[in-house]
Amino acid sequence: MGQKIDPSDLLRMGMRAEALRQKVIANNIANLGTPGYERKEVRFEELLARALKIGDPEAVANVQPEVITPRASAPVQENNNVNLEQEIGDLLKNSSKFKIYAALAKKLGSHKRLAIDDKF
């Protein structure tokens, strides 16, 4: 049997994607008043889902989050299409997802330590 997908690798990838997403959201907020600025997003979950569907561990390991400019996500208002309320909502959602990934990683790490120490 071939190489398997390690759950801790998936958690690490998710945390990296959320960290990048946090930076992108902060950048969107920072450019709220910049004429012509187009808001950015991070695409990750869709890419990971495709790779997982294929079932190839190497394809999964090579998934990287992408910063994209979504098409017509919102009409341009006052020189750009950044909506502060949407960005704040995205920021809160992203922060929660990162905390969940971190908690799962901590839990997974404690289970691995128990197995290594043989203290079930």
**pTM to 2 decimal places:** 0.81
Percentage of residues in the chain with pLDDT exceeding 90?
61
**Distance between CA atoms of residues 44 and 62, nearest Å:** 12
C-alpha pair distances (Å), 64 with each of 10, 59, 71, 89, 111: 11, 10, 21, 24, 27
pLDDT tens, 36-66?
899 999 999 999 999 999 988 999 999 999 9
Intervals of the chain under pLDDT 50: 1, 114-115, 119-120
> Would you state the pLDDT for residue 120?
43
Provide the pLDDT for residue 3. Answer: 74
The residues spanned by each domain of the chain are: 7-117
- Long-range pairs for 21-26: beta carbons < 8 A, 24 or more residues apart: 21/65, 21/90, 21/94, 22/91, 22/94, 22/95, 22/98, 24/67, 25/87, 25/90, 25/91, 25/94, 26/91
